[in-house]
Amino acid sequence: MAKEAKTNAMRFLEKNKIPYTEKTYECDEFIDGIHVAEKLGQPLEETFKTLVAVGKSKAYYCFLIPVDMELDLKKAAKSVGEKSAELLHVKDLTAVTGYVRGGCTPIGMKKQFPTVIHSTAEQLSEFYISGGRIGLQIHLSPQALVKAIRGKFEDIVQQAGQM
């Protein structure tokens, strides 16, 4: 079988000498992160989804959280110095990031947006994020990623029972 083409995310990691491994799965269309993790046998707490939000200032931000958690928009906005933030509409995702839903990753976007990774990742030696297309996950060090994209770790998820 021919080697699949590299994504922008993979090229970015290689250029910055960040070691990673890739995992692929069969999928024709978007499936949520929990199903991706289950399909690949990955722990939910080590599998992160990328969410893109727009702040009150109209600036864009990336937030990475475990696939089985929900983003707390108030905490997320505060983490990037915004009064408020709302998730980007799916229809706008490709135009803003260059990625499609289910293949969005904080690396290799059209423009590097400020990125906040949920604080639980700081304790992990490696975690899984989208590799830049549906059907591809990348396994890498959260610390190496944060350093390369000048991101940060912060508590940005809803607590259990919070809505």
**In this structure, what CATH number is given to the domain that contains residue 110?**
3.90.960.10
Two tokens at 11? Answer: 């090229």
Among the residue ranges 2-11, 34-43, 89-98, the one predicted with the least confidence is: 2-11
Which has more pLDDT, 122 or 110?
122
Average pLDDT value for the chain: 92
Which residues form the domain of 101? 8-154
- What does the pLDDT average to over 39-62? 96
pLDDT for 29 equals 72
- Judge whether residue 3 has pLDDT over 90: no
Using the structure block, give the residue that is written with the tokens 């059209």. 110
Domain contains 65: yes
Q: pLDDT value at position 1?
A: 42
Residue range 26-37: mean pLDDT, rounded? 84
- Taking the whole predicted model, whether its pTM rises above 0.95 is answered as no
Looking at the predicted structure, is the pLDDT value of residue 121 above 50? yes
Number of domains in the chain: 1
Is 51 in contact with 66 (CB distance < 8 Å)?
Answer: no
Residue closest to 126 by CA, chosen among 107, 106, 112, 146: 146
The answer as to whether 163 is a domain residue is: no
